[in-house]
């Protein structure tokens, strides 16, 4: 299988990190949905990153669905989302919030970078920025509970999809520009990000 997309997409990056962490052999091609539109269209006419070219030659898109498929390929010990309902809910709940950080950061970035300045809509920018910071507000207490610990991640001793998506989301939200939000109220998220970014799977999939 081959993962298609740039690592500066938080969705591509969470998949790349997760596949590595799960030990799933795969290739990766850095094709941009913007700069390589034609090349991307030839792989996936819908031009969505990430796209996974599966071993049967077909494609699968949407990071959450790719990860859902990937979870089915590995042993329970390798999975990043636990099976028991309570533990699974805890991981999915945080992952869902972190995905809002990704989505709102991407929307803010698109509005500011892709639209001509005179067509940018300030109320929309304020709306998505508010949603972005409220999602960070919701994640910070979860990160604070394990701040300073070297053997606990967001939901327990194992690194899960909640940690990967939260760390990737934080890194991407910081990357879109210093004006997006003030990081001062989020020391625990910054610390969680630093811990995660030091892992081999993160180091080998740098955002830039």
Ligand X SMILES: N[C@@H](CCC(=O)N[C@@H](CS)C(=O)NCC(=O)O)C(=O)O
Q: Which residue lies nearer to ligand X by CB, 48 or 134?
A: 48
Q: How far apart are CA 15 and CA 131, in angstroms?
A: 23
The reply on whether position 11 binds ligand X by CB under 6 A is yes
Residue tagged 């990967």 (tokens): 164
Pairing state of beta strands 51-53 and 59-61?
Answer: antiparallel
Q: Which residue lies nearer to ligand X by CB, 10 or 195?
A: 10
Task: Name the one range near ligand X by CB under 6 A: 57-65, 85-93, 117-125, 179-187.
Answer: 57-65
The reply on whether position 111 binds ligand X by CB under 6 A is no
**Among residues 3, 4, 17, 47, the one that binds ligand X under rule CB under 6 A:** 47
Residue tagged 């290739």 (tokens): 27
Tokens of 201: 């799977």
Q: Which residue lies nearer to ligand X by CB, 146 or 180?
A: 180
Torsion of CA 53, 169, 175, 189, to 10 degrees: -150
The reply on whether position 172 binds ligand X by CB under 6 A is no
Coil/strand/helix, residue 58: coil
Q: How far apart are CA 202 and CA 169, in angstroms?
A: 13
Q: Which residue lies nearer to ligand X by CB, 62 or 111?
A: 62
Q: Which residue lies nearer to ligand X by CB, 65 or 194?
A: 65
The reply on whether position 128 binds ligand X by CB under 6 A is no
User: How many Å separate Cα 37 from the centre of its chain?
Assistant: 22
The HSE-up count of residue 145 (CA atoms within 13 Å, CB side) is 10
**Among residues 3, 17, 33, 146, the one that binds ligand X under rule CB under 6 A:** 33
Taking the complex as a whole, the smallest distance from the CB of residue 89 to ligand X amounts, in Å, to 20
Residues of this chain that bind ligand X (CB under 6 A):
9, 11, 33, 47-50, 62-64, 106
């Amino acid at each position: 299988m081959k993962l298609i997309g740039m690592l500066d997409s938080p969705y591509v990056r969470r998949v790349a990190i997760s596949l590595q962490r799960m030990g799933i052999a795969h290739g990766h091609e850095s094709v941009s949905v913007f700069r390589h539109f034609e090349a991307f269209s030839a792989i996936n006419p819908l031009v969505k990153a990430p796209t996974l070219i599966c071993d049967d030659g077909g494609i699968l898109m949407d990071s959450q669905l790719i990860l859902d498929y990937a979870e089915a390929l590995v042993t329970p010990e390798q999975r990043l989302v636990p099976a028991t309902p309570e533990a699974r809910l805890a991981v999915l709940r945080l992952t869902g919030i972190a995905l809002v950080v990704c989505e709102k950061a991407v929307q803010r970035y698109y509005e500011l970078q892709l639209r001509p300045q005179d067509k940018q809509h300030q109320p929309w920018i304020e709306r998505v920025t508010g949603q972005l910071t409220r999602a960070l507000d919701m994640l910070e207490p979860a990160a604070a509970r394990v701040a300073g610990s070297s053997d606990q991640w967001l939901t327990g001793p194992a690194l899960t999809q909640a940690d990967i998506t939260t760390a990737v989301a934080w890194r991407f939200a910081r990357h879109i520009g210093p004006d997006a939000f003030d990081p001062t109220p989020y020391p625990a998220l910054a610390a969680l990000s630093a811990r995660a970014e030091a892992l081999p799977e993160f180091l080998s999939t740098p955002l830039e």
